[in-house]
Amino acid sequence: MNGKARFTVTIPGLRHWKEQIKCQSACPVHTDARGYVRAVAAGDLEKAYLIARGPNPLASMCGRICGAPCEVNCRRGTLDKPVSIRALKRYVCKRGKTDDLTRELAAINQVRDHLRNRECAGGEENAVLSALFEEGGYRRASGEKVAIIGSGPAGLAAAHDLALFGFKPVILEMESVPAGMMYLGVPEYRLPRALIHAEVEAIKALGVKIMTNVCVGQDLTLQEVIDAHHAVIIAIGAKKSRPLQIKGAEGRGVIGGVDFLRAVALKRPVAMGENVVVIGGGNVAYDVSRTALRHEVEDDVSRTALRLVGVKNVHLCCLESREAMLADEIEIREGAEEGLLLHNGLGPDEILLNKEGAVTAVRFKRVLSIFDEEGRFAPAYDEDDVTEIPCDTVLVSIGQSCDLSFVDPERDGIAVTERGTFVLDDAQSTTRKGVFVAGDAELGPKLMIHAIASGKRAARSVYEFVMGVPIMLADRSFHVPIEKYFRKPGFEVLPRQSPDTAPQPERTRSVAVEVERCLDDGKAALEAERCLDCGVNTIFDSGKCILCGGCADVCPEQCLKLISCKRIAGDGRRENLAELLNHLEGGENGAIIKNDDRCTRCGLCAERCPVNAITMERFLFRSVCNGR
């Protein structure tokens, strides 16, 4: 190391400590994933469930289908592989018997008690949800009616919180079943219908009313909905397939991918031929492709599910290279195991039709680039490299949008942009007073957990609007020394434990066969032990430290370093840094700097310190209402 090298340092504060818990910082509802994972490691599954369920009313479903931004950001992944957080959430909810409606309902009061507990690493969502349960907190609503259009994750989350706030939410759902795209867009092999039913029934038990087969814009106008309620939340999903703008896209046998999934979920027949081409490369395209591999129809006489004999091959064609695909790696891998034929770097040029207007093939061109020099989507093709894939059916999965045809901007006073999205303020309010937006209608197509977070924020905005009281939050935080800190030997080299999957022949037998299995007790315990427990920090007492360097010598990750204070560059927060350097100016003072990202919280530095200047302490924080 060059002796003149300078180090940029950050003086730890609330933001630093919170951002160190990367799984929680990345979660849109700020679930304390570290908390429930460490509870599993300690064998306290009840506590683990309460932590997972506290900010998330759809935790059981997230344990199966969440895109898991917590896992993507897990700091363990910088060492080897991230903790299997989503799989552990499923394990926690399964062991908590949340698949059972009675257990789920009984847990609600336990969750309330948990949210009152200030000894937890809770976030803003916990504070808002618990505020009305605390003595001296905000006044509960007194049964004011709130309409929610759409029963997907955003609508259900909003209804859940509104019911706890004291409102009487009613969800208006245009389909014959509740849960929106979770039921209609997520295949059954990923999300069992019994689990959806249990989660929905638990929310209904809070006093939420769900009215199915009610289409706003047809059965009643948006204005009628507004007139009958104190507030309205529009939480419609992005269930409108984006059409393919090429010749032949109107042919018989061309079907929107979302339309196909909806038909399968509702057990409606879909005519398909021997060879199917799916156009798209994201997770939805894989849902479409893998469902096509499992496609069944019901025999009208026997009412039994029969596999379509004609479906032999399913081709998935996308613009991206294999390395740049948008779909999750597990989807790509499992699709290949099931026989899906993947074609990368192909862009659709024309859908070929016969004289009767039926699909016969899709012509593709080889992709040279997808984006232009300014990063805009502008695919370029090799006009001489053409591929034709014979097929009978084309399933188009290149994106979805929300259908806002039920909104008349002039009549309803709700402004809509040229792109077909709502004009919203920071509170998710439209230009019509008392009408809010959540989920895909606010964010566009994103993860389920983003929709849940959006629904919860909308519920908070409704409270503030109807009750006329802003919810004010303040952060409280502190470190608590850990007596006899201990980590099991070898935790830092434990390999990642992933869920088992059903055998390939069994998977494609039916769309109802779950592919991913739940972790068993042994695997769950091992995987939970891999968590680095990022809420634990090494706290240094400068008054005791003798700068002997023992802590740096024993650190297995070399994340501690003793340097001269002259080599400290600063972190941009000049007032704090200036105070530190002025205090040290004039001598060859030393300092210990630490790379928190590399620290595994093994505790060896604290054990090694001869003067007990290092303690292992747990960081706890909570956003509290009214600064209480």
Distance CA 468, CA 480 (A): 38
DSSP SS3 for 575:
helix
**41-50, 142-151, 226-235: range with lowest mean pLDDT:** 41-50
- List % helix, strand, coil for the chain (3-state, nearest 5): 35, 20, 45
- So what's the pLDDT on residue 574? 45
Under the banding of pLDDT at 50, 70 and 90, the label for residue 300 is: very low
Under the banding of pLDDT at 50, 70 and 90, the label for residue 225 is: very high
Nearest to 442 by CA among 111, 34, 86, 158: 158
Distance CA 359, CA 253 (A): 6
- So what's the pLDDT on residue 626? 65
Residue pLDDT, tens place only, 546-598 = 989 999 999 999 999 988 877 777 655 544 554 555 555 545 677 888 999 89
Whether 159 and 181 have beta carbons less than 8 Å apart is answered as: no
Q: Of the CATH numbers 3.30.420.40, 3.90.25.10, 3.50.50.60, 3.90.1150.10, which one belongs to the domain with range 243-398?
A: 3.50.50.60
- So what's the pLDDT on residue 310? 56
Q: Is the pLDDT of residue 1 over 80?
A: no
Query: How many of the other CB atoms lie within 10 Å of CB of 42?
Result: 13
16 phi and psi, to 5 degrees? Answer: -60, -50
What's the whole-number mean pLDDT along residues 437-445? 96
What's the whole-number mean pLDDT along residues 485-512? 93
What's the whole-number mean pLDDT along residues 290-310? 57
Under the banding of pLDDT at 50, 70 and 90, the label for residue 471 is: confident
Q: Is the pLDDT of residue 29 over 50?
A: yes
Whether 69 and 484 have beta carbons less than 8 Å apart is answered as: no
What's the whole-number mean pLDDT along residues 277-292? 97
Under the banding of pLDDT at 50, 70 and 90, the label for residue 475 is: confident
Nearest to 502 by CA among 337, 289, 306, 342: 337
Under the banding of pLDDT at 50, 70 and 90, the label for residue 189 is: very high
Under the banding of pLDDT at 50, 70 and 90, the label for residue 136 is: very low
- So what's the pLDDT on residue 303? 38
DSSP calls for 79-147 = TSS---HHHHHHHHHHHTTTTSHHHHHHHHHHHHHHHH-SSS---HHHHHHHHTTSTT-PPPP-S-EEE
Q: Is the pLDDT of residue 138 over 80?
A: no
Mean of all residue pLDDT scores within the chain? 88
Percentage above 70 pLDDT, the chain = 86
Q: Which two tokens stand for residue 286?
A: 């894989």
Whether 429 and 413 have beta carbons less than 8 Å apart is answered as: no
Domains 139-239+402-470 and 243-398 share a fold: yes
Under the banding of pLDDT at 50, 70 and 90, the label for residue 382 is: very high
- So what's the pLDDT on residue 124? 54
Distance CA 328, CA 338 (A): 16
What single-letter DSSP state applies at residue 355? T
- So what's the pLDDT on residue 465? 97
- So what's the pLDDT on residue 119? 43
The CA-based angle 165-168-172, given to 5 degrees, is 125
DSSP calls for 485-522 = ----TTGGGPPPP---B--HHHHTT-TTS-SBPPPPHH
Under the banding of pLDDT at 50, 70 and 90, the label for residue 99 is: very low
Residue 400: Cβ-neighbour burial (10 angstroms; 0-12, 13-18, 19+):
buried
Q: Of the CATH numbers 3.40.50.2300, 2.60.120.200, 3.30.70.330, 3.50.50.60, which one belongs to the domain with range 139-239+402-470?
A: 3.50.50.60
Most confident of 470-479, 502-511, 605-614: 605-614
Q: Which residue in this structure is represented by tokens 């093709």?
A: 381
- So what's the pLDDT on residue 4? 64
- So what's the pLDDT on residue 473? 77
Residue pLDDT, tens place only, 106-132 = 555 565 555 545 444 555 555 555 555
**What are the sequence ranges of the domains in the chain?**
1-137+519-628, 139-239+402-470, 243-398
DSSP SS3 for 64:
helix
